[in-house]
Structure 1
Amino acid sequence: MLSYRHAFHAGNHADVLKHAVLALLLEALRSKQAPFRYLETHAGAGVYDLDSPEARRNAEHEQGIGRIRAQAGSPPALAGYLAALDAVSGPGGRARYPGSPRVARHLLRPDDRMVLCELHPADHALLRAEFAGDRQVAVHRTDGYQGLKAFLPPPERRGLVLIDPPYEVKDEYRQVVAALGAAHRRWPTGIYALWYPVLDTTTHARLLQDLVQSGLRRVLLAELRVRPEDGPRGMKGSGMVIINPPWRLDRTLEALLPWLWDVLDPEHRGGWRMEWLVPE
């Protein structure tokens, strides 16, 4: 459908969770000397201007990264994520927010590589301009699910895949599970991170059940809700599913999620959870 534009939602509570987890995964990959590759299926524009008309329409960032920035201190687990935010600050203090590609690029080492897929023509153009001349980054205008087939397994044999679709149609929930399973069969040792929205009490529950029944192993779930699931229509929260998570990521998230919940949902209308959907 290609109607979704992330510029309207940049820096919201879902971005905070997604990018905090993304930074932790990349930092774990950096802990070993061998190079790795990062692949993103729905990369967006790369960087977002929080002073733009799109971002200011609902000002979702004010209840997201704005609340994180307002804290006097933050957990060490957020250090990589917050450093990526600092790295994209615009001239004259103009507020900018890094999409997943910029968070990842900040954490790449000289021998690491990044492959970005984006099908939306406007966002693809912005993404190509953002990384023009960067030899560590390849930008492709292609369907992200096709990118999983084309770019896996990577030459480095180490790395991370972020799957972050817009879920514009309900069938995408089934499509993403099938695509994830097929990608895992091609590259079973890779780390996979799947983002999903919490919209109601049933839609994402079916997604998680399909993942449990998919045959995948070592599946970790981190979910953060800032509104009650039975509340008014709209996104109540979001979650990240990680396949082949790094060692001790579960303990890190178990400590980080309560802090994020306190900051992003000060009225405690939602909740958080961290659990193994499928163990070893």
Structure 2
Amino acid sequence: MLSYRHSFHAGNPADVLKHLVLAQVLNYQTIKDKPLDYIDTHSGAGFFELAAADAQKTQEYQDGIEKLWHHKSEHAELNEYIELIKSFNDTDELTFYPGSPKIAEHYLRRQDKGWFFELHPRDLLLLEENMQGKRSIRVRGEDGFAGLVGLLPPASRRACVLIDPPYEIKDDYETVVKTLVKAYQRFATGTYMIWYPVVDRERIDNMEQGLIDSGMRNIQLFELGTEADTDVHGMTASGMIVINPPWKLKQTMDAIMPELVSLLSEPSGFYRSEQLVDE
């Protein structure tokens, strides 16, 4: 089932939301001098050329980062995300888009460690090429769910985790919840981010309820719907669930999400910004 490759979807609206949240979390986590462990369970290749055949086949970036490329927001956090993506491009033209590994690498400092998991053989080779050169970074061709649990608790006693499976396997929704429960039992103070696609709303409802019933505290959800839910075709929305989020994250997302909907969504588009479980 290793058919999914993120190179077809790089820079789409789901990436915008995911990486906007990721950048805010990592920016907050690296304010303190104390070391941090960053764990990325489904890393992908890590860096994408938008003129390449995969990205050009779908051109999903045109509905995402391209619409923001020349946008000036009244919100500093959105402008900082746009400038972050621009920093990976040598010119004013949108040519490259960084995946979560390269965004994480941007924030990780000398005292931090980065752990990146990928099973797709081709993407693993690309990830190793894209992440080489830093002794503090580890790339592993292993199952990221098991790898995450095996790394906890981290030696640094501080961890930031991104769980971003392709959900090709329907059991992934349930596996995400089970893995988080195990991770939380080992290390309850870590910050955990879970990306999800909305293809079948019932699966998302079940995943949310599983997290609510798990006993974990302080869970927030941010979802961007580019159009209304439908049973007719593919992904219509995506979201990020954050456990132990930075204290200003929801305040920031409450302000930014209406702007993202207006820029990236159809008239039927929507957003959610919710505190699923209190602290």
Classify the TM-score, shorter chain: over 0.9
Give the 3 Å change call, closer, same or farther, for CA 247–92 of structure 1 in structure 2.
closer
How much does 1:181 deviate?
A: 0.7
**TM (normalized to structure 1)?**
0.95
Aligned residues: 279
Between the aligned partners of 1:134 and 1:232, the Cα distance in structure 2 is 45
Indicate the residue corresponding to 1:249 in structure 2: 249
Structure 2 CA distance for partners of 1:19 and 1:92, relative to 1, 3 Å: closer
Displacement of 1:169: 1.4
Q: Which runs of 5+ in 2 are unaligned?
A: none
Q: For the Cα contact (< 8 Å) 2:66–2:94, is it kept in 1?
A: no
- C-alpha contact (below 8 Å) 2:46/2:102 kept by paired residues: yes
Deviations 1:214-258 (A, max 9, x none): 111111011110011026311001010000011121111111111
Aligned-partner Cα distance in 1 for 2:186–2:2: 28
Q: Deviations over 1:50-96 (max 9, x none)?
A: 00110011100000001111324462112443343123215895711
1:173–1:207 CA contact under 8 A, matched in 2: yes
Return the alpha-carbon distance in structure 2 between the equivalents of residues 45 and 23 of structure 1: 18
Q: Is the 8 A contact 1:225 1:272 kept in 2?
A: yes
Distance (Å, rounded) in 2 between the aligned partners of 1:79 and 1:191? 24
Q: Does 1:136 align with 2:136?
A: yes
Aligned counterparts of 2:73 and 2:252: Cα–Cα separation in 1: 17
Q: Which residue of 2 aligns with 1:272?
A: 271
1:168-200 alpha-carbon deviations (Å, 9 max, x no partner): 111111111000110111111100000000113
Contact 1:84 1:102 in 2 (8 A): no
TM-score by length of 2: 0.95
Match of 1:207 in 2: 207
1:51, 1:94 within 8 Å by CA — same for their partners in 2? no
Code of the residue aligned with 1:220 in structure 2: it is Q
**Secondary structure, counterpart of 2:209 in structure 1:** helix
**What 5-or-longer segments of structure 1 have no aligned partner?**
none
- Aligned-residue identity in percent: 43
The runs of at least 4 consecutive aligned structure 1 residues that moved more than 3 Å come to 90-94
Q: Call closer, same or farther: CA 1:59–1:82 in 2, change over 3 Å.
A: same
**Equivalent residue, structure 1, for 2:34:** 34
Matches within 5 A, 1:205-244: 205-230=205-230, 232-244=232-244
